[in-house]
Amino acid sequence: MSRKKLSSKIENEIFTKSKRRCCICFALNDDLAVKRGQIAHTDHNAQNDDLDNLAFLCLEHHDQYDSQTSQSKNFTMHEIKEYRDRLYKFFMSGYIPFEDVTILDPLAPLSELPKEQFSSEIMSGFKKNIMEFVISDQIPESGGWSLSQERIFQYNYGSPSSKIDKREGGIISTYMAARALRACGSTLNTYSTPGKAAAGYLLKRRTGRGAFGRFSASRSGEELKPSFRHTALACLTLMALNGPPSAIREGLQYLLTVKTVDLQDDAAPSIARAAILFVMEYATSTTISHKYLSSKEVDTIKNFLAERKREILLAIESEAKSPTNPYAPLWEPYGHNKTMVFDSALTTIDFLTLLDDIPLDTVITALNYLAGMKLDSGLPYDPSSKKPDIGISTYFGVMCRRSLVFKHLQAAENGKSTLKIADDAIEFSFKNWGKAEYMERTYCDTVSNGLLLI
Ligand SMILES: [Zn+2]
């Protein structure tokens, strides 16, 4: 009988379902390594292309299976099918083979993202949950994110949020949501409605001279205050959403007027500093600068970075080391609110690890410190929490897996234990998704980062 070639549709289906793991290796040796292998016909009939008849086997096991001899008790068809089904089920349960996990450049141009990987089933269950969470976390009245912050507002501030806060959400949350949805690039268009609403939300928060801000309660009712941090985040969000280039360009011009002293009153100066550096580097990178800036404007921003980056980085590093900072080697928490210390630290790390030259020592020290706070197999929301939190656990895991950080942790003395805690934390998150006790303080700023994993 001549061997018929499998259609590429069937082949793809088997490769995706098995993730090129051999089900015999898996069932008998707990071996989940990616294997060179072939698709076997379990009934030895090469004409039978029924999915149920096919299984991916490593070369060795395929040989062994196909060269049945009467002398040795060989694998039976039912046995192979049973092993194969177990392997499929294992992947369907949301297991992440960690050697497959890499981190996306959160703002890479869509055309450069490896789209086919988004459909991979490796993370499908977990990511589907996160995506639904993020989408439904948009605030209907404003288009900003995140609705879920209301759940933890009372924990953080000891009082319910104001009507304005409820409507406003946060610009950081909006950035996190937009980049997370963008990281699932193949489906971003489907979400163009939330994307449009988010861009509208940001554009209504421009205050003149290119600055962005957030409305807050004031004696006269509501006030829109310009903020360097919000401007940096709004520019990044608008880039992720393909927003109007003029708003992005003017926002960047406003950022050039920043003085270090301007940031001392910010509720989260370390986040502001790191976000400003990142947006400037990102906007002037060769792949995207032409979309927003003239070559003269690129030069101006590059000059700013050449003159000021060192000083801004030093301010970030010294805050994390300051003897007066009760949370060193982490940063002062957002608004000096001690419950928001991990969230702020991870957001700072997030921006720092996107920079051209990462202050690795500062980042690694902070991550090792956070790893030391683990509770069971995850990380809590803050030092006084009694239970791990899915959002913080996810965010921590993703930060440890950013490629340079990952390499550094792998090579460092105490880095491997931190990486193990990071992987446990991701696993904790997808295994416990939806359990109220672990999701009490999970919101889109933290958990949306799970969408950056592939
Ligand atoms: Zn095998």
pLDDT in tens, 271-324: 999 999 999 999 998 777 888 899 999 999 999 999 999 999 999 999 999 999
Q: How far is the CA of 68 from the centre of ligand 1 (A)?
A: 16
For residue 72, what are the CA distances in angstroms to 57, 69, 75, 197, 326?
19, 6, 9, 66, 69
Q: Are the C-beta atoms of 296 and 275 separated by less than 8 Å?
A: no
pLDDT number for residue 85: 92
Examine residue 380 and say whether the peptide bond preceding it is cis (omega within 30 degrees of 0). Answer: no
Q: What does the alpha-carbon distance between residue 270 and residue 281 come to, in Å, rounded to a whole number?
A: 17
Going residue by residue through the chain, which has 454 residues, state the pLDDT in tens, using 9 for 90 and above. 445 678 889 999 999 889 899 999 988 887 777 889 999 999 999 899 999 999 999 999 999 998 866 556 788 999 999 999 988 887 776 555 555 555 555 555 444 444 444 345 545 678 888 888 998 899 999 999 999 988 888 999 988 888 998 999 999 999 999 888 877 653 443 345 788 889 899 999 999 899 999 998 888 888 999 999 999 999 999 988 878 889 999 999 999 999 988 898 899 999 999 999 999 999 998 777 888 899 999 999 999 999 999 999 999 999 999 999 999 999 999 999 999 999 999 999 999 999 998 999 999 999 999 999 999 999 999 999 999 999 999 999 999 988 788 889 988 888 999 999 998 998 899 889 999 999 999 999 999 998 887 6
Q: How far is the CA of 61 from the centre of ligand 1 (A)?
A: 5
- DSSP letters along 344-357, please? HHHHHHHHHTTSSS
Please name the CATH architecture into which domain 99-452 falls: Alpha/alpha barrel (1.50)
pTM for this model (two decimals):
0.77
- Which residues are bridge partners to 214 per DSSP? 225
For residue 139, what are the CA distances in angstroms to 134, 211, 234, 237?
11, 22, 17, 16
Q: How far is the CA of 6 from the centre of ligand 1 (A)?
A: 21
Q: Are the C-beta atoms of 170 and 145 separated by less than 8 Å?
A: yes
pLDDT number for residue 24: 94
Q: How far is the CA of 99 from the centre of ligand 1 (A)?
A: 18
pLDDT number for residue 183: 73
Q: How far is the CA of 36 from the centre of ligand 1 (A)?
A: 9
Q: Alpha-carbon torsion 127, 379, 337, 318, what sign?
A: negative
Q: How far is the CA of 266 from the centre of ligand 1 (A)?
A: 57
* Helices and strands (DSSP H and E) totals, the chain: 21, 5
Q: How far is the CA of 126 from the centre of ligand 1 (A)?
A: 28
Q: How far is the CA of 39 from the centre of ligand 1 (A)?
A: 12
Q: How far is the CA of 178 from the centre of ligand 1 (A)?
A: 42
Q: Where in the chain is the domain with CATH 1.50.10?
A: 99-452
